[in-house]
Each structure stands twice: as structure tokens, then as C-alpha cells.
Structure 1
Amino acid sequence: MARVVVDPIPRIEGHLRIEVEVENGKVKDAWSTGTLFRGLEIILQGRDPRDAHLITQRSCGVCTLVHSLASVRAVEDALKIKVPTNARLVRNLTHAAQNMHDHPVHFYQLCALDWVDVVSALSADPKKTSDLSGAVSGRPQTTKYYEGLKGKLKAFVDSGQLGPFANAYWGHPAYKLPPEANLMAVGHYLDNLRQQVFAAQMTAIWGAKNPHLQGHLPGGVTVAEQLNADRISQYLFLLREQIAFIEEVYIPDLLAVASFYKDWAKIGGNKNFLAYGDFPQSDVEPDSFYFPRGAIVNGELKLVKVDPTKITEEVTRSWYEGDKPLHPSVGETKPLTGDKLKGAVPDTKSKDGKYSWIKAPRYDGQVMEVGPLAQCLVSYTGGNKEIKDTVDGVLKKLEVGPDALFSTLGRVAARGIKCLVNAKAAEKWTMELVENIKKGDTKTFTPYKMDESTNGQGAGMNDVARGSLGHWVNIEKGKIKNYQQVVPSTWNLGPSDGKNQKGPVENALIGTPVADPKKPLEVLRTVHSFDPCIACAVHVIDPKTNEVYKFRVS
């Protein structure tokens, strides 16, 4: 038996520690640890609720927009504000752009290197790679292109400095792609570094900047002067370029990689899934979501209605004070200190030991996975024709059944499916915005009263690139009395609870094959398939200087 610790495990940012116990070539047990404390809920107490969406965006440096959206929705719910049609549509367009940025970045920059052996690409035949590119990609490249790419890659390797390709277990026996497929994937990895800029520009068209946009505010959006033909045409031009890249490069690559790793359609799965639903289609029907709200329970493709009052967080195995599950509307963020904290050293060997700064969210007392796989499963069973047709098409091409979705491979594939459907829906919303403006409706903001007598309680819920995100606010005398965030990575990467139910990523890891405990590539595959974004889940700040602590991880 071997104990393996990977710390930190995310490729780009965030502090997540994964510990697994390997026995007879498989993971027998697993523990997920968020290693830094998040204090945003405490920072927000006593502040003006209208500032919350600007502050909560700083939860992360990637998915900033979605925190802004959840926050303004929470304040609007508390103050009973209905936003205009144009605001609803503009928010849908910016949120869709965020998805078009996040999902390809996840596949190429955060996840692909778990499946693509970059060093193996050095033995690829450029002519055969070009032929492969022509057969599977909508943007084939020439032999000369792949000769140049191979030369650049060789220079990286010969220098001993692999740059963005330095963090993987090259030559691991779990890699299965032929050298030519690896070289093609390296090319598309670099292509997406350029492509993601266009998605960021789409967000900035309506949000003024990216990241940390300024386009949202309680009551609507700030783009009254930008609702013109030039801005809309610019968004539509970039959108169609994104759709082309997704259809011609991202989805074909996804299918090509998946065809070599069909065994992973039986590894890394969960049975319970939760989606809040998002992209409202109506101004008068509150739950008119393009991607519906719902849950999948016990692996049955049957839609279960979701009651948000059944959401709780508990801290039995987390470094916080508290001894019972609480709904986020009355939630607490009280970190342990001093002797109670014991240096925040993860205690994974005791039955009731505390080992994470991440809390443990539950729905109706059950562990729930959130994210694009949950969104696709709920939409698949909930009547979204575009999702169903796309999922069925992918399953048919891979020659696997719906059960394959409940896996690490299904989780990776769902991101591409959701990205494509979301992008195409954005075309429809763009044209709805055009038609609404043609009618003479240019309203983007609903005025409301806010003063020292204002009281209210509200929730802002959305389904974002990494899963179900919720903000809960309690306003008293015009100030924030309590604020709680339950983010996707809290749902997915949280620890065990008081019933010893393990969190989704811990569950998914159990049973994962590990060929070499000293090179746990397979562990990375399952964890990275969740797209861990620990910046949202944990933060640390010096209360005296307001300076964020800096850490060097060797």
C-alpha cells in the first residue's frame, strides 16, 4: 500500500492538495484538501450591497464575470428588482462568452496534457501528421507547418526548459495517442492560446474590460450607449469565429482523443448531479432557463426537481467552527484559530480529523457533482433538444452508450458539448437583442430605492463553466449583514461530511487505476476533469496590511 500526495495539483492556479491511498494498482481511498483560507464573506460584512458584485469578482482571476452575475442576482432578489429585456440578453451574451473562453482553455491548457504526450510528438512524421489533420480537423495544416512545429518543440526539449509543457509525466505507459496525434494536439494547444483572446474580447464588448468586468450592476447592465449596430456586429463576428473553432478544432480533437481512451468511460464517475439552470429565456418566467434546473440521483437519467432550500454546507471535516449543516442564507464562515487550528495540517488518518479549508456542500443531505457534465445530464433528460442531439451524436461516433457519460471521459466530453451548444444559442440571443432594439426598446436598467432603511434577503444562482454557483445576501439597514458564496469547486472538491460521505472528487478517484504511484498521471486525469478552480474556494489575506500572502511551491 502506498500513500501518494500531489500538492498542488491544478496546472494554472489555486492551492489544492490531493492525497490517495493506492493498493493493488488502484486508488483505495482519497482526500481532497483546500490549503488556503477564503475570507471574502467576512470582508463583505457591513459593506454596501451594490459593491458586492465588484468585490466578489476577485474570488478568481479567470471566472470573474460569473461571480458578478451571481452577486447582482442575489441583490436583485433581495430588493425584488426585475431587470429589462436588454439586460437579460446582454448578461446571457457575456456569460456565453465566458463559457467559450473557459471550456477550450480547460481542454487544451488544463487537461489535454494528461492525455497528450508532448515529448512523444518529437518522433512524429510531419507528412503523416498533416494527413491526420486533414482527416479529423476542419482546419488542416500542411507538412511544412508540422515540420516547423516539431522543430520548435525539439528546441524546447533540447534546452531542458519545456516551458508550458514542463508539468507532466512524459513517457508514462498510460499515454496511448500515436506521435502524429500528439503533434497535432500540440499545434492546437498553441492555437487556443490565441483563440481565447477573442472570447475575452467578446466579454469586454459588453463588460468594458476583462477580467473583472464593469458591465453588471444591480438592476441591469451599464451598456446603454453600446447597444448599437457596431458593437453587436463586432460580437457576432467574434462569436461566429468561436463557433467555427469549436466545430472545426475543439470537438474533432475531443473525439480523436476520446477514441483512444474509451476505457476511461468506466473510470472516475459519480451518480448524483446538480444543476441550478441558467440563461433565462423570459422576463416573466423565473425558471425559463435554456439549460434547465434539476438533479440526477443514483445514476438514473430521470430529472429530479430541485428545491434550493435543501442546500446546506457543513464543516465537520473542515477548519471552521460549527457542528451542524446550515443553509447558506444563514451560513457562517468562522475559521478555527490558535490551538484549535493545529497549524492547519491535514488530518486524513483520523476518522473525524479535519483536513480542508473547503466546506462540504450537500443537497438534501446528498453529495452532488456539479459542472458541465451535470448540466448536460440534466439538460439531456430535461428537454434541451440541442444538448440531446449533440450528446447522442458524440456517443454514436465513439460507439458508446449513455452510461459512458458517468466517467472521467464523460466529464471532459461534456465540456465540449456544452460549449458548442452554448455558443450556437448565443447567436439566437444576439438576434433577439437586435429585434428588441428595433422595436424601440433601449432600456438597460431598472431604477430602485436603496437607503438606510432597506432590508432584504436574496439568492443569486447560476450555472457557470465549472458548475453550480450561488451567492446569498442578507441586507439589514442598507448594509450587508451576512454574505455566503457556495462555488462549484466547493461542491466538487469539498471533504467528507459528518456522515462520512466523501466529496465528489474523492468518490471519483476511488477505483482509479494507478500504474506507477511515483507518477500518478491517472489521478491527475480525474482531478483535472473537474477543472478545479481553487481560487474561488479558498483565499488568505493579512487582516492588518490587507496584503495577500505570497507562497513559493517547490
Structure 2
Amino acid sequence: MKNEKVNFSTIAFPHFRGIENILKGKNALDALVITPRVCGICGHAHLMSSVRAIEDAYKNAGYEVHLSKKAKKIREFTLVMEIIQNHLKWVYMVLIPELSKLRNSNEENYTLKGAYGARLATKAISLLGGQWPHSSYMVPGGVTSDPTYIEILQAQSILKDLIQFFEKESLGVNLDEFLTYKTPKEISVGEADVSKIEEHLIELGMQEKGLAYDRFIMLGDHLFINPIKMKQTRPFSVDIKHVSTVESYSPNEKTYARNAMYKDDYYEVGSLSRMMSLQIPLIKNIHRRYKDSAYSRVIARIYELAHLMKHANELLSTISISENSCNKPISIEKVTASGIGIVEAPRGPLIHKVDIENGIINKYEIITPTQWNIGSSTKDKLTPVQKTMFGHTKAEALFIFRTFDVCSVCTTH
């Protein structure tokens, strides 16, 4: 601290998970059971990254894996619903309580709202994925679930209830109307939770605080996003070969984390990055006025909730139950190759890398979104979160830190 403002910060992740070591020597398909247990919030993202890495190894070994549209949409639906449950928990269990703390106000407890919304989202996941968390229903060639028409209708009914809850409690307007908003002023009108959040962020000056590098990157390839990097508003192509990790700087405490970089530069990942890349009018307007501030980061995550709920609805309505759920490839024992699987998880790009020899894992590597945003480096090259915390009071810095939606259990393996 210097003059009661943060002058420099380091971040340590002192617990060790060891998932990468656990996987060595295991059958490659065991990764589909073990990697979802990296995290209790984004296990589906880890499962999808893992299965994509294995399917990529099949391809690199000369064996094509053919996914039906049905399998792709079911995988995507469960991933999207997992992002939704995460965001709802973050809004109601982290963001609003931390805003109240920063404002020294004693507002009502919003925790149950987050729990209720997240419960609906995970019920829909379990209908198609078998369970949540820690499902292993994605396999090379597709999915093991074969939903009936009734189960699709049930998932649609649950999603309808979730959207109605979100419209009433969070937005104060219907989903389609909110998605047409183009200015922050439109958000501020009304008494619903999002309007209060926007008001409180402005009251605290968060539209001018928490600025990072204004650089964004997306690496997952989905129906709702494509790989891209951006410097301010300028888009550039990306290539996974330029992703690397470096040792974290934590001189006063042991840390097992590594920082993730692209071409030796730090980039922000997550909801703001994704919404910027999609050229969403509201987010473009906010960015033009407030850049990559804490305010922009929060509103982008809330907007993504609405955006993904609509996308989930479209996915369900276009699933053809007559298609194959799985086109089983040859036995994994025939595969000797490396593979990479990339997924946009709730907090940003999640990367799984696997080296397989005759179906057995020789090496496994996991790079998580928190390694991008919440790295710890020296003063001469700050990570995004270190840069955002600089120059703010301790209370403000801790709030800004949480706008990145940190996940510590994913970070060390």
C-alpha cells in the first residue's frame, strides 16, 4: 500500500490439486471421469475440453471422429446452462453482497435467488447429461444420453421457468426487450436487481475503476462464439500454438499456479471478452464510454446471461432426436497421438492437452481461465488483475478482483 492505495499486489494459490499427475499412466478415457472433478462449478467445461482433446488425438492419429448435429447441440446446451448457473451464483452470491459491503448498506439477502436460478439451470443439465456436477456423458463420437421428446419438452419447460424468474427478479423486462438495449441508461430504469446493480456501480465510480489492458481473447469454438483476439475494438486471428504459461511471481507465499499468456502478452478472458467479440451494441456502447472498467466487466457478464438463455432456447428447439447420439470410433488402444481440446468455460477459455500412446496417457496439461485473468507477475509486467487493482483502496481493489469471477480450485493441478 502507498498513501492508502494499492501500489502492488501478488496472488498466490497455495493448494495443489495434482490432477495432471493423477492422469499419467491412465487409460485416456479415464480422463472423462477424472477431469470433471477438477471443479464443482464448471465440470461440464472440463469434460468437454477433455473429450475434444481426445477426439483431436483420434484425428491426429488418422481416425476421423464424426459428431452428429444432435450430439453437438446437446453438448453445447449443457455447457451453456453451466455458464448460466455460474453467472447466476456470481451475481447473487458474490456481486450483490460485495456491492453492499462496499456501500456499507444492509440490504436483503439475495443468496436464495442465486440458488433458485442455479437449481433450475442444473436440473435442465441433468436431464440431458445424467447428473450435475461431475457428469461423464460426453464420449469420443458424441454423447451417451439419448433424450426422448418428452425429456426435451421437460428441459424446455425448466428453461422457460428460469427465463421467467430472470425476467421478473433480475431484469424487470422480458428477455427480448433487454437484449435490444443499446445504452446503459436503458438498464438503469426500473426497480429490478440489474437496475440496482447498475446504479450502485455508477455510485461507486466503477465505470472509471478497474481498467486492465483493453485486450481480449477467446479460444473456444462454439455455436455462440468463435476464436478471436481483440486489441480495443480491433479483431485479430488467433492460433493455439502461441499460448504459453510462465511461473507466477509470489515472493512471500508458495503458489502452485502458472500465468497464461498469448505471444508473451497478458489478455483478459471471460464474459466481457466474449460480448466484445460479438459486437453486441450495448457492450460496444459501454466500452466506448468506460473501456474495460469494472463496470463494463459486470454488465457484460449479466448481459451474457440473457444472451445465453436465448441461445439455449434455440438449441433445444432445433435438436433432432432421430439422429444418432454417438458414432463410436475405433478402440482408444489404437490411438498414439497428441490432442488439444478448447472450450469457453464460464470464466473464459479452458484448454486441455493430452499425449496418448496406445490409449494410455503419457502427459496431460490443463490451462484454466483464471490463469489468464488472475496471474501474478512482477511490477514491470503486471497481469490483468494486478493492473486493475493498482491505485485503488483496499476495499475497492478486493471488489475489482471479484469482478473477474475467480475460481481457485481450477487453477492448480
SS at match of 1:525: helix
Question: Aligned residue for 1:504?
Answer: 384
How is 1:55-454 mapped onto 2 (pairs within 5 angstroms)? 55-80=34-59, 81-117=65-101, 174-175=102-103, 182-183=107-108, 186=109, 188-224=110-146, 226=147, 228-251=148-171, 252-262=192-202, 263-270=205-212, 271-280=214-223, 290-297=224-231, 300-315=232-247, 317=248, 346-348=250-252, 356-380=255-279, 388-391=280-283, 402-433=288-319, 436-437=320-321, 441-454=322-335
Secondary structure, counterpart of 2:409 in structure 1:
helix
Q: Where does 1:442-521 land on structure 2 (aligned, <5 Å)?
A: 442-496=323-377, 500-512=380-392, 514=393, 520-521=394-395
Q: Is the 8 A contact 1:76 1:458 kept in 2?
A: yes
Determine if contact 1:265/1:404 at 8 Å carries over to the other structure. Answer: yes
Cα gap change, 1:451 to 1:210, in 2 (>3 Å):
closer
Larger RCO: 1 or 2 (CA < 8 Å, sep 6+): 2
C-alpha distance after superposition, 1:512-532 (max 9, x if no partner):
2x1xxxxx3222211111111
CA distance in 1, matches of 2:311, 2:332: 39
Q: Equivalents in 1 of 2:278, 2:312: separation in Å? A: 17
Q: What is the Cα deviation at residue 256 of structure 1?
A: 1.8
**Shift of residue 402 of structure 1?**
2.6
CA deviation after TM superposition for structure 1 residue 419, in Å: 1.1
TM-score of the two chains, using structure 2 as the length reference? 0.88
Distance 2:389 2:254 in 1: 17
Structure 2 gap ranges (5+): 60-64, 172-191
CA distance in 1 between counterparts of 2:298 and 2:222 reads 22
Give unpaired runs (5+ residues) of structure 1.
1-21, 118-173, 281-289, 319-345, 349-353, 381-387, 515-519, 540-554
The 3 A distance-change label for structure 1 pair 401 and 470 is closer
Q: Distance in 1 between matches of 2:45 and 2:380?
A: 31
- More displaced stretch, 445-454 vs 236-245: 445-454
CA contact (8 A) 1:269 1:407 kept: yes
How many pairs are equivalent? Answer: 385
Give percent identity, aligned residues only.
Answer: 25
- Residue of 26, 40, 51 corresponding to 2:30: 51
Runs of 4+ in 1 over 4 A off after TM superposition: none
Q: Distance between the aligned counterparts of 1:45 and 1:77, measured in 2?
A: 18
State the 1:355 CA deviation.
5.0
SS at match of 2:363: strand
Say if 1:114 and 1:521, in contact at 8 Å, map to a contact too. no
Q: Distance in 1 between matches of 2:150 and 2:354?
A: 37
Paired residues of 1:111 and 1:529 also in contact (CA < 8 A): yes
Flag the structure with larger Rg: 1
Of stretches 39-48 and 270-279 in structure 1, the one that deviates more from structure 2 is 270-279
Q: CA deviation at 1:111?
A: 2.1
What's the TM-score once normalised by structure 1's chain length? 0.66
Q: 1:296 to 1:194 in 2, by over 3 A?
A: same
Q: Could you tell me whether the CA contact under 8 Å between 2:68 and 2:323 is conserved in 1?
A: no
Q: 1:451 offset after TM fit, Å?
A: 4.7
**Is the 2:28–2:360 contact (alpha carbons within 8 Å) kept by the matching residues of 1?**
yes
In the TM superposition, residue 469 of structure 1 has moved relative to its aligned partner by 0.5
2:201 maps to amino acid: Y
Compute the displacement of 1:195 (Å). 2.4
State the 1:46 CA deviation: 1.2
